[in-house]
Every structure is written in C-alpha cells, then in structure tokens.
Amino acid sequence: QVQLVESGGGLVQAGGSLRLSCASSRRTFSTYAMAWFRQAPGKEREFVAGINRNGGSTNYAESVKGRFTISRENARNTVYLEMNSLKPEDTAAYYCAASIRAWPTLEYHYWGQGTQVTVSS
C-alpha cells in the first residue's frame, strides 16, 4: 500500500500561483508513475498532469498546458505541481496518484486525500 499526502492548497487570486506537494511513505516511490488529478464540485475527476518514474517525461491536460508544471524528487519521495496564472476554473480538490503501470498511463492505483485549491476572480 502506498500512502500519499498532499499539501500546499489554499485560496489565491486569479493570476496567482500555488505549488502543491505530494509526499509518499514508500521508499519504492521511484518505481511509480505519478500524476495529479482534480475534481470540481458537480464535475467528474479529470487528469491534470503526469510524470514518469525518473521525471524525464511528462504530459498535461490541454487546459493547463503552459501554466502548470509537474516535477518529482525521488530522493525526497515527493511529486510537485507548480501552478501559475491560475484561473477561477482551476478551483477544485487536487489529488495526487501513483501508478504501477508502464508509462504513459492513465490507470492509477493509489490516491491521496486531496488538497483544496480555490481561485477567486
């Protein structure tokens, strides 16, 4: 079992920035592809960004390309999501997730509890 704990959410004005972090309890963190998803009230959960095991490959949802950056530090068992030029439509609960599948994948098996991001207009 992989435990994932997100942090860094909060309230920010439109155009602002936030950095989310997700720490893993497992020393095998580097064997997992990682991703961020989000879910707004009344909407389905959607993929935001993903990163492969060594951090050399990433992918993004079209809605966040050029504004968000996913990265990881395997030595710290942590994945990050740098969010810039935030918009009110980015408001959601953000979840990190880990996958045992080969990259690229949209199949994720372990989930954090989520951190809320609210962007005011």
Q: What is the pLDDT of residues 60-74, one digit of tens each?
A: 999 999 999 999 999
Residue 22 has pLDDT above 90, yes or no: yes
What average pLDDT score do residues 17-43 get? 94
What average pLDDT score do residues 5-25 get? 97
Residue 26 has pLDDT above 80, yes or no: no
Predicted pLDDT of residue 1:
79
Q: In 3D, which of 36, 58, 59, 55 has the Cα closest to residue 46? A: 36
Q: What is the pLDDT of residues 45-54, one digit of tens each?
A: 999 999 999 9
Query: What length does the chain have?
Result: 121
Residue type present at position 59: N
**Whole-number Å distance between alpha carbons of 3 and 66:** 29
